[in-house]
Structure 1
């Protein structure tokens, strides 16, 4: 497998991603023996449950200093900046930002820190992923009515790697529905696993809600779990929410947020479209503008 390149939005530079457990992921997702092991063991809940259990123990806290150093994480932007105050690795993993650590931009903003891909139409997905035709809204949403609603719409994928801030927020103000759960497995959402297909999104554990807005129509927000994600925790209450309000957080592991927009409602920012067309993700921070309305009310 080739290295994973991405664009750093702030500088415009092309960089190479440091993928945690890269060797094991390559084995699991690209070799015959690895794929057999993946289907027999790693996709199953018990593996992620055991991983989640360990990350909630005091023993796991010993991993924090090395993780911070390896990934150059700046704790000064978080509520708790003293490493000693984190009693478990999971406490550190879903750490909270300080108030005002992220500015909230105009229009539609990124719901999380991570790396983003944008698709102005669902047809664009197959041009990015080798096996994009395997990704269908019917299998992803498991709801025919919703699949029809977003069939000709737009989609963005925000991928959270383990070093990223793992709380996620609302991309716009509006009325949020209750969260609906879809049962599934626990495949990795690393780019090494996703490089071939988005089908993994249709098989992993996930939850979604609909955010009804004045300017952008109904935005569907899907939270996708992955290997070693013991929990998807929703911290919001259904009803009126403001852009930038916290929606929830993921426990340990890489995770993904998928946003679906109705047809004719939004424009993605040109730099994000250009980079995606070059088959490159772009780094984003929670609160950065990623799209604007076509016909604002």
Structure 2
């Protein structure tokens, strides 16, 4: 897998986790082996373990292995691994771009942006989707014809809280049950994960980008999408929720002629490269 920073430096990520997942999802025997692990019941069981006090022993080894700068986060003693995983960033560690016409990322992520063609289809790497399949709602899918799908993938070492990208009125939230594949690209090559995984979405009637669809996608060992109680009106930079343990994804869908993606993210996505973006950072701007 290749990722790029905002200065154009491309890095080939060759982690042991990536290699293992490529082997598992790249073979029929591996996919059969992992099938029981992607069920919600297994995720719930693992979640209970990670909420227990015994799981706190895994926190310090994880920090060392992933070279995390804990100076970015509020100082506290973690009583479980999930408490650490849902840690809160300290004030000032992320800068929220408040320029009204700038379209910002709601999370720390590896971003890809994909145009929605005339039949509301789009491709993520080697896998074809339609907006209707993603939402399980044909009439709603047609509203985003000609727009863009923004796939914002969080890795396990990332900050797992997320914010609203603009001032907006939020619709009711729709939950779509499903299974819980990893969101690593290795799985996407084998399965249409974004239409199979558990997910939840709402429509944001924003001040600056018309209607934006915001979807949280669960992933392997992520049994919980923990959104805050819905309010009639929300603000850019306000925390919307967090994921429990595992890598996860936020999907944004923008309408035709509302947001122009930044050139580096658009170009990288076309070449199969994800772009490293921080929460609150500009990804595009209004037309």
User: Which of 153, 157, 170 is 1:159 aligned to?
Assistant: 153
User: Which of 82, 92, 111 is 1:100 aligned to?
Assistant: 92
Aligned to 1:42: 37
Q: What do residues 79-102 of structure 1 show as CA deviations (whole Å, max 9, x unaligned)?
A: 12x5xx000010010111112221
Query: How does 1:72-151 map onto structure 2 within 5 Å?
Result: 72-80=67-75, 82=76, 85-105=77-97, 106=99, 107-122=102-117, 125-126=122-123, 129-132=125-128, 135-151=129-145
**2:228 aligned with 1:235, yes or no?**
yes
- Which shows bigger deviation, 15-24 or 224-233? 15-24
Shift of 1:183: 0.6
Shift of 1:289: 0.5
Aligned to 1:186: 180
Aligned to 2:27: 31
Aligned to 2:216: 223
Shift of 1:145: 1.7
C-alpha separation between the residues in 1 aligned to 2:201 and 2:63? 31
Higher strand fraction: Structure 1 or Structure 2?
2
Q: Secondary structure at the match of 2:48?
A: helix
Q: Secondary structure at the match of 1:125?
A: strand
- In structure 2, do the counterparts of structure 1 residues 269 and 251 end up closer, same or farther at CA, with 3 Å as the change threshold? same
Shift of 1:223: 0.2
Aligned residues: 282
Structure 2: runs of 5 or more not aligned: none
Shift of 1:212: 0.4
Structure 1: runs of 5 or more not aligned: none
- Which shows bigger deviation, 210-219 or 24-33? 24-33
Q: What do residues 211-242 of structure 1 show as CA deviations (whole Å, max 9, x unaligned)?
A: 10132110000100011002100015222111
C-alpha RMSD of matched pairs (Å): 1.7
